[in-house]
Amino acid sequence: MARKKKTENSDNKKPVAENVVGLRAEITEQPIVDTLEVNYMPYAMSVIVSRAIPEIDGFKPSHRKLLYTMYKMGLLTGSRTKSANIVGSTMKLNPHGDAAIYDTMVRLSKGYGALLTPFVDSKGNFGKVYSRDMAYAASRYTEAKLSAICSELFRDIDKDTVDFADSYDGGMQEPSLLPTTFPNVLVSANLGIAVGMASNLCGFNLAEVCQATIEYLRDPQADLLSVMPAPDFPTGGEILYDRSEMEEIYRTGRGSFRVRAKWRYDKENNIIEIYEIPYTTTSEAIIDKVAELVKTGKVKEIADMRDETDLGGLKLAIDLKRGQDPDRVMQRLFRLTPLEDAFSCNFNVLIAGMPRVLGVPELLEEWVAWRSESVRRRTHYELTRKQERLHLLQGLGKILLDIDKAIAIIRETESDAEVVPNLMIGFGIDEVQAEFVADIRLRNINKEYILKQIKDTEQLEKDIADLEDILKKRSRVHTIIRQELEKVIKQYGAPRRTTLVYKDELVQEPEEESIPDYPVTVFLSRHGYLKKITAQSLRMSGEQKYKEDDGLLLSFEATNRSELLVFTDRCQVYKTRLSDFEDGRASALGTFLPTKLQMDEGENVITVLDPGEYRDSILFVFENGKAARVGLGAYATKTNRKKLTGAYSDKSPIAAILPFSGETQVVLYSTEGRALILNTAQLAEKATRDSQGVQAMTLKPKYRLQSAEKLEESRISNRARYTARNLPAAGALLKPEDTGETQLSMEGD
């Protein structure tokens, strides 16, 4: 039986494979960097530049293609047409399919309500931005046209105000940008996720944006917050306003602020009615979260919740149990549900094809520069047309001097091709003027017609001089932009929908008030199991249960609202609350803290303590003999549960962690059998958590500091022997009577 030979190429380096038709194909190696550069980078840049990030006109390419198609279909002034017709026509410019195009139309529509200033005047079911489940109807059932404000998007687009480019198949021309007469980049909310970057622009009130731009034109250092204090959302709600927070967003283009729902109380029916919700959530998400809180017992004041949204708008109804305070219930719901949510800003915009994160003044600067260029291009276009018209009328004016001569020249010319040259010679005019004269009909060769045509010459000369002056003076261009903005405010301006509530004026319900408070005893085992046992359960229980090789490490009294600091052997501390743990029993093992707090793999608990009001101190004792006194205030944070790294110094292994209040005496023990008593007053309190401390106990090279405890908890009777007046000190060797050990007696009764 013949064996099949392995096929190799001539240089024995590149293997050869056979394709499905038996032909030999070489497989070549290519460095991964080259592959990424050749294949991945063009894709990434295409997503960034041509799909996901908006440009200075405030639109992504998909928005621009749709609106321009509707403009060319005559839907700015005409009646509505089926959405399916619009989608089909847009596919000539947009290659991404009908579903993506219709999704874009829905988002821009008045019916969906995602934009404060919608650009599509819709009819039919377009869904709602505040509903996750309210789906929009198919494109064959809905109708649309352009909103009236779109006249400001396309104003003078046929006067060379913007560049045009070929469509994806080269069959049409489309605008690279739309010549918007107002800063739509700040008016229309936009969210885009590209490759390696994203953009999230919140919408602002149209009238406020235009007024802010006018103020910026007058003074680039103007206080924009005075006229445009905060974003505005189509879903309304309230912004928890912090001026310094908003100034940071305006300055950097990044940051976040909080938005919450608006509500009213129907006292007669004991019902809370929520009628405006944050832009970032949906009514279904709110109902689901409230239902979860009621089911788990975290919110017990609510009897029922339902969605009563109708043609009048959004309304979520919450039935309260008898005797409940609606203000307190809403404060809790704001804290625990999406009724209050954060909006993160990332003003990432394409400027000349490059993504840049800009603050509001920088965005206005870029828009003013771009709009100024559009006005100049329009002015230059109008100037050229008027100059051409003036040139023709000047030629016609020369004919007025001798109409009979013009007629004679035309009559006596033998060939048609010589008419224009003869007129040029006879009257001293150029070819363009002569062509214009030659094309005048016979019935119009009279003095009255010619006088009518040339009477505008003087006005044209004034207009040309005015247009040339505009091109020379930037101030005049800015005046034109300002006048256009004032017109937009007057014609399309509307009041704010989102109101501002200053944070310092809010009465926040303390979180602890919603947590039941009762005394508990905390038990921590050596392996990191924690039990929280109530006083009643502790009285009724027997011996504490632990694993076979485990046992009690410490116990202390606390309350259910107490916070806990959990220190580990990785120089980390975890913050949690006792209320996060279920009440336990002595017969149970308890909660395993490394799992509960999601500690790092192999991380172990050293100790747990109740920080109270973070006014006391902690003593860290290290094996190298050093001790550090750190104030508990260094561990205070605003969040209830958080991992803090650098909880203590990592220069030497930890020997003991002792919390204390006021001043106290502590006993240090070494492996040599020595003990040293020091007073915490001898140690200066450090402000930083990872302080190495000071040398407290001097140690011989082969020994280390082993443990530490408070003096009142020790068995030392001869305290003077071990007390150090100055630090560091070596301490004294322990005597048997100070170790608590007793010897057996041989005496009889």
Q: Which residue has the tokens 């008419």?
A: 419
372: left (phi over 0), alpha (psi -120 to 50) or beta: alpha
- DSSP annotation of 734: P
Q: Which residue has the tokens 């960097």?
A: 33
Write the CB contacts of 424 (distance below 8 Å, at least 6 apart in sequence).
Answer: 430, 431, 433, 434
12: left (phi over 0), alpha (psi -120 to 50) or beta: left
Q: Contact at 8 Å (CB) between 553 and 526?
A: yes
- DSSP annotation of 635: G
Q: Which amino acid is at 294?
A: V
Q: For this structure, is 669 an active site residue? A: no
CB-hemisphere CA count at 13 Å for 334? 23
Considering only the C-alpha atoms of the chain, give the largest distance between any 2 of them, rounded to a whole number of Å: 164
Beta-strand runs (E) in 613-663: 617-622, 626-631, 643-645, 654-660
Kindly tell me the number of DSSP H helices and DSSP E strands found in the chain.
Answer: 21, 36
Q: Which residue has the tokens 């821009």?
A: 108
Write the CB contacts of 563 (distance below 8 Å, at least 6 apart in sequence).
Answer: 575, 576, 577, 578, 610, 611, 640
Nearest to 301 by CA among 97, 450, 509: 509
Q: Is 22 helix (H, G, I), strand (E, B) or coil?
A: coil
Nearest to 186 by CA among 423, 322, 364, 312: 364
Sign of CA dihedral 299, 301, 303, 308: negative
User: For 104-125, b where at least 16 C-beta lie within 10 A, e where not — what string?
Assistant: bbbbbbbbbbbbbbbbbbbebe
98: its two tokens: 């009908």
Nearest to 716 by CA among 699, 729, 733: 733
Q: Contact at 8 Å (CB) between 158 and 336?
A: no
Alpha carbon distance 199, 222 (integer Å) = 26
115: its two tokens: 């934009």
Nearest to 269 by CA among 326, 307, 331: 326
Phi, psi of 591 (to 5 degrees): -100, 130
Nearest to 280 by CA among 306, 251, 258: 258
- DSSP annotation of 698: -
Q: Give the H/E segment covering residue 71.
A: helix 61-72
Write the CB contacts of 266 (distance below 8 Å, at least 6 apart in sequence).
Answer: 272, 273
- DSSP annotation of 55: B
Q: Which amino acid is at 541?
A: S
Q: Which amino acid is at 660?
A: F
The one catalytic residue in 68, 102, 112, 141 is 141
DSSP states of 88-156 as a string?
Answer: HHHTTT-TT-HHHHHHHHHHHBTTTT--SS-SEEEES----TT-SS-PPPPTTT-EEEE-TTHHHHSTT
662: its two tokens: 């006021």
Strand pairing of 732-733 and 198-201? Answer: unpaired
**Which residues does the annotation mark as catalytic?**
141
